[in-house]
């Protein structure tokens, strides 16, 4: 499987965005962000990014374009095209099969609206049967504090997301819920999750507010 999860080191961005920021929407210097993306493309080949909106739209990519499609999952069956999902606390979910691959943005809203299931359905429609998932770094269940209302909404659909902070306040464990979801679909997974909020080499919106974006990247 050809995939990787970037961290925040090894790029040209500075300040709050130091240093390998791949997000063009976070008010970092655009030429610098594009230079960071070019640095990565030189290592893995052409990369398709997306404009993520916490929805469940899946876009099938047949060629890499400069315009990022509005979606929260990208799928391709063409070798040599890398797909990227940008995150700073949400889960970068990568899906791999012999016929297609996908990059999926699974945040709290994405978990609720079924974006991972939509990506799996698209891959299966393209002939994929043996699918493996790779779960990348995201905020952990101890750090993702939420209101009681949001906690109730998510855990009603995904009981495995139930968590508490060290102070005993409501929190969500999105990776735990995603693992249960993948198991329900008979999807084997590789778990490379670690907490973005607890690891300084990763961007974390919850920790820093103004920050960059790392990415999960996959290709056939």
What pLDDT score does 167 carry?
97
Which architecture characterizes domain 2-219 according to CATH? 4-Layer Sandwich (3.60)
- Mean pLDDT over 155-172 rounds to 98
What pLDDT score does 1 carry?
92
Give residue 218's pLDDT band: very low, low, confident or very high (50, 70, 90).
Answer: very high
Residue 148 near residue 211 (C-beta atoms within 8 A):
no
Residue 154 near residue 118 (C-beta atoms within 8 A):
no
Instruction: Tell me how far apart the alpha carbons of residues 213 and 37 are, in angstroms, rounded to a whole number.
Output: 11
What pLDDT score does 99 carry?
98
Residue 91 near residue 174 (C-beta atoms within 8 A):
yes
Give residue 199's pLDDT band: very low, low, confident or very high (50, 70, 90).
Answer: very high
Whole-number mean pLDDT of the chain? 98
What pLDDT score does 95 carry?
98
pTM for the structure as a whole = 0.98
What pLDDT score does 138 carry?
98
Give residue 96's pLDDT band: very low, low, confident or very high (50, 70, 90).
Answer: very high
Residue 146 Cα distances to 99, 111, 140, angstroms: 38, 15, 12
What pLDDT score does 177 carry?
98
Q: b/e for 161-175, b at 16 or more Cβ within 10 A? A: bbbeeeeeebbbbbb
Residue 215 near residue 8 (C-beta atoms within 8 A):
no
């Amino acid at each position: 499987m050809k995939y990787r999860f970037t961290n925040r080191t090894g790029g040209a961005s500075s300040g709050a965005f130091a240093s390998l920021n791949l997000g063009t929407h976070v008010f970092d210097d655009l030429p610098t962000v594009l230079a960071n993306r070019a640095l990565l493309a030189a290592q893995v080949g052409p990369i398709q990014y997306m404009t993520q909106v916490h929805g469940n739209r899946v876009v099938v990519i047949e060629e890499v374009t400069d315009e990022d499609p509005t979606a929260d999952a990208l799928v391709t069956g063409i070798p040599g095209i890398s797909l990227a999902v940008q995150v700073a606390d949400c889960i970068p979910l990568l899906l791999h099969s012999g016929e297609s691959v996908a990059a999926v943005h699974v945040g709290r809203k994405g978990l609720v609206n079924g974006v991972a299931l939509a990506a799996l359905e698209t891959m299966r429609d393209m002939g994929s049967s043996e699918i493996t998932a790779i779960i990348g770094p995201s905020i952990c269940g101890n750090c993702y504090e939420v209101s009681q209302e949001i906690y109730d909404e998510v855990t009603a659909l995904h009981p495995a997301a139930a968590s508490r902070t060290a102070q005993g306040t409501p929190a969500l464990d999105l990776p735990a819920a995603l693992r249960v979801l993948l198991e329900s679909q008979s999807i084997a997974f590789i778990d490379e999750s670690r907490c973005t909020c607890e690891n300084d080499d990763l961007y974390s919106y919850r920790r820093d507010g103004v920050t960059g974006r790392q990415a999960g990247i996959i290709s056939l």
